[in-house]
Chains A and B, each alone.
Chain A
Amino acid sequence: MLTAKVQGVQADNYALKGEYVELISENRSSAVTSVSLAELEQIRTKGAPIPASKHGLETICGASCDTAAI
């Protein structure tokens, strides 16, 4: 039995597909910020690989499909 909280969140997430949201920004802006080149290069060349699942669950579950297609 789902807890009420989880049930509520899950119900909201199921319902999302019927709601209009702003997944694409209406405001096409390019704000100015300051990040050092060293940091940007670190991101580009040394960034950790992204696991398929947030917690890397594919290591345990992924023999039949690492990216969880069912």
Chain B
Amino acid sequence: MSSSIDYRHFQTRPGISVVTAHGRQRLRTEENDRLIDVLKRNDVPWSAVSTFAVSKSTGAVTLFPCLAASISSLQEFSEILVYFNRNVNPFTFSFDVFKTIETADAVAEATEYFYQRLDNSRSGSELFLKKLSSEECRSVIAERVEETVKETLPAGAAMVIGVSGGGDSNSLLHGLSRIRNHSVAVHGVIIKGIPEWDLGVPRARELCDFYGVELTVVEEHEVKDLLKMPRNSPSLTDSFEREFKGDDWEFLGTLLIRLALSRRARELNTPYICTGLNLEDLLCESIFRISTGLKPASFPSRNIGDMTLLFPLWLCPKKIIDGCFPKFSLDNYDTRYPCFSLGRNLYYSVIYSMQSQFPGFSEQMARGLSKLSLSDPVTYRFDEQLGFHVERFVPFPLLHKFRKMIGARQ
């Protein structure tokens, strides 16, 4: 008589449990999981744990680092105990339970956003997934824009704003148009020079017409003038690509926009310029700066030379901005060029991860950084060789490459 025993049922995967001072929590596992996959799926930070294994045969508990181990290969253990190395409750901020809040009047949803109430008195947190209609998004943005403008811009002042034709511009213009009891004379500027920007000009004209805002279109040759580049020099993009291969155009773009807005502002005899940097943009810049030993640059208002740069969308998450005019936002996504700089990738990724895991914390961080930045503002000096304001010393090799890019005499 032959007998065959199927041993497979003995080869069970060990249970995985997180051991905290607040109790033990079993974690769900899936086929082919490594322990690190289990931890990540359950939002248990690998850097906060020590792992111990319980022998199936002896019951002995031994220290067993095994983040990379496949769970199915750990059949000699009945359990893997993942000890949390701090007495906090890592699941306080879990996304397992949240309450959904529908749009007002059950109208069409344009976006959704997690709001997190952090309750110090109860030592707890409450999570809401708010569905937002476009109208709700616009009302959020309008309120934030009004609040910031009233705090930073004198009534009756003129302000020059960068208009790209995309969703952010539309939201900012909409917000500015809804300010009550505090007149602001808005002047729009759009610059040309790369395909992504050039495509935005017709939309920018439409937007400015709609809001009754005068629009200045800065042609590529005028953009070159801002950097004192010869008009017959190669295109901006070719010049940039030649000297700064593998880098991101946006870095030059942000400078060109500031110079264009500043030039127009001087023509209008106003010191106020404005761009649509949002919550994540300013947190990203701040995390780059503080992690490299620089104090945060001021926001929501920043004095650069004779100009004051305002960021009315500083407390507005991009997801809610994009919900204001979804079609414009989609068009904007479709014309997006990839970013290759490791740094820009890193700092945005850090902020998005933090915001996604702890939605209630980003605004606290932004407000704290704003307070810090305004208490000890960064100052900018006029660089004679470059012809515009910079903050810190520019290393000679970089200065040389930049001047070569713009065709300056060396």
Q: Are the C-beta atoms of B252 and A61 separated by less than 8 Å?
A: yes
Is the pair B285, A65 in contact by a Cβ cutoff of 8 Å?
yes
A49 and B341 CA atoms in complex are apart in Å by 13
Which residues of B sit under 8 angstroms from A10, Cβ to Cβ? 195, 237, 337
- Say whether, besides A13-B338, A69-B277, A57 and B285 are in contact (CB < 8 Å): no
Interface size class of A (residues with CB under 8 A): 20 to 34
Q: Are B289 and A28 in contact (CB under 8 A)?
A: no
Q: Nearest-CB distance from B238 to chain A (Å)?
A: 6
**How far is the CB of B35 from the nearest CB of chain A, in Å?**
11
- Chain A CB within 8 A of B98 CB: no
CB pair B292–A61 under 8 Å, yes or no, is no
Q: Is there contact, CB below 8 Å, between B343 and A51?
A: yes
The answer to whether B394 and A60 have CB atoms under 8 Å apart is yes
Neighbouring A residues of B291 by C-beta, 8 Å: 49
Q: Is the CB of B244 within 8 A of A17?
A: no
Pair B289/A50 contact, Cβ less than 8 Å: no
Rounded to whole Å, the gap between the CB of A36 and the closest CB of chain B is 19
Q: How far apart are B78's CB and chain A's nearest CB, in angstroms?
A: 24
- In the complex, the answer to whether A53 meets B34 with C-beta atoms within 8 Å is no
Decide if A37 is an interface residue (CB 8 Å cutoff): no
On whether A54 and B246 interact (CB within 8 A), knowing A30-B68, A60-B390, A69-B254, the answer reads yes
Whether B202 sits at the interface, judged by CB under 8 Å, is no
Cβ-defined partner of A69 (8 Å) among B195, B281, B386: B281
Interface size class of B (residues with CB under 8 A): 35 or more
Find out whether the CB atom of A70 lies under 8 angstroms from the CB atom of B288: no
Contact of B344 among A61, A67, A70 (CB under 8 A): A67
Which chain B residues in 6-58 approach chain A with CB under 8 Å?
32, 34, 37
Q: Could you say which of B254, B341, B402 contacts A64, with CB atoms under 8 Å apart?
A: B254
Main DSSP-derived SS at the A contact region: loop
- Complex Cα spacing A66 to B292, Å: 12
- Cβ–Cβ < 8 Å partners of A64 in chain B: 254-255, 257-258, 275, 302, 304, 309
Q: In B337-357, which residues have CB < 8 Å from any A CB?
A: 337-338, 340-344, 346-348
Complex contacts, B248 vs chain A, CB 8 Å: 53-54, 68
Question: What residue in chain A is nearest B256 (Cβ atoms)?
Answer: A61
Q: Assess the B164–A63 pair: CB atoms within 8 A.
A: no
Collect the chain A residues with CB atoms within 8 Å of residue B34's CB: 28, 30
Residues of A within 8 A of B91 (CB): none
Contact among A3, A6, A53, A59 for B341, CB-based, below 8 A: A53
Contact B394 A67 (CB under 8 A): no
Given contacts A28-B34, A49-B291, A66-B285, contact A57 B247 (CB under 8 A): yes
B212-245 vs A, CB cutoff 8 Å, 1 = contact: the mask equals: 0000000000000000000000010110010010
Please state if B288 and A1 are interface contacts (CB–CB under 8 Å): no
Is A6 in contact with B285, judged by CB distance below 8 angstroms? no
Distance between Cα atoms of A17 and B302 in the complex (Å):
35
Query: Residue A16 at the B interface, CB < 8 A?
Result: yes
Q: Is B255 within 8 A of A70, CB to CB?
A: no
> In the assembly, what is the distance between CA of A69 and CA of B293, in Å?
20
B119 near A: Cβ within 8 Å? no
CB-CB contacts below 8 Å: A1-58 with B: 1-3, 6, 10, 13-14, 16-17, 28, 30, 49-58
With known contacts A28-B34, A69-B284, A70-B164, A57–B251 Cβ distance under 8 A: yes
Task: List the B side residues contacting A51 at CB < 8 Å.
Answer: 292, 341, 343
Cβ–Cβ < 8 Å partners of B342 in chain A: 50, 54
- For the complex formed, measure the closest distance between the CB of A51 and the CB atoms of chain B, giving whole angstroms: 5
B255, B291, B293, B386, most chain A CB atoms within 10 A: B255
The answer on a CB contact under 8 Å between B37 and A63 is no
Does B180 interact with chain A (Cβ within 8 Å)?
A: no
Which residue of chain B has the shortest Cβ distance to A16 in the bound complex? Answer: B338
A63 / chain B contacts, CB cutoff of 8 Å = 255, 258, 297, 302, 304, 380, 388-391
* Pairwise interchain contact B247-A54, C-beta atoms closer than 8 A: yes
Q: Is B399 interfacial (CB-CB < 8 Å)?
A: yes
Contacts A/B (CB < 8 Å), 20 sampled: A6-B241, A10-B237, A13-B338, A28-B34, A30-B68, A49-B293, A52-B341, A52-B347, A54-B343, A59-B392, A60-B255, A60-B399, A61-B255, A62-B391, A63-B388, A64-B258, A67-B285, A68-B254, A68-B344, A69-B282
